[in-house]
Amino acid sequence: MSIPDIGIDLGTANLVMTYGRKGVVLSEPSVIAYNKCTQRILAVGKEAYQMIGKNPPYVDVVHPVAEGVISDDMLTQCMIREFLQKVCGHQLVKPRIIICVPAFITDLEKRAVGDAVMSAGCRKAYLIDEPIAAMLGAGINIGRAKGHMVVDIGGGTTDVAIVSMNGIVTSHSVKSAGNQIDRAIIRYMMNRYKLLIGEQTAEHVKKTLTNLYDPSAEITMPVRGRNILRGLPDTVELNEMELFDAVEDEIFAIMEAIKKVLEETPPELVGDIHENGILLTGGGALLGGLRELIHRTLNVNCVLARDTMHCVAKGTGMAFQKINNLLDGFEGVTIYKYR
**CATH number of the CATH domain containing 161:** 3.30.420.40
pLDDT value, residue 167: 83
| 211 and 74, same domain (yes or no) | no
Give the pLDDT band of residue 93 (cuts 50, 70, 90).
Answer: low
Bridge-based pairing of strands 40-44 and 14-19 is: unpaired
Q: How does the average pLDDT of the chain come out, rounded?
A: 87
| 51 and 122, same domain (yes or no) | yes
Domain boundary pick from 246, 272, 287: 246
pLDDT value, residue 326: 54
Q: Would you say residue 107 has pLDDT above 90? A: no
Q: Which domain holds residue 152?
A: 142-176+247-308
* 1 inside domain: no
| 172 and 191, same domain (yes or no) | no
User: In 3D, which of 17, 40, 15 has the Cα closest to residue 28?
Assistant: 15
* 100 inside domain: yes
**Secondary structure percentages of the chain, helix, strand, coil, to 5:** 40, 30, 30
Alpha-carbon distance of 33 to 82, in angstroms, equals: 12
Give the pLDDT band of residue 74 (cuts 50, 70, 90).
Answer: confident
Give the pLDDT band of residue 89 (cuts 50, 70, 90).
Answer: confident
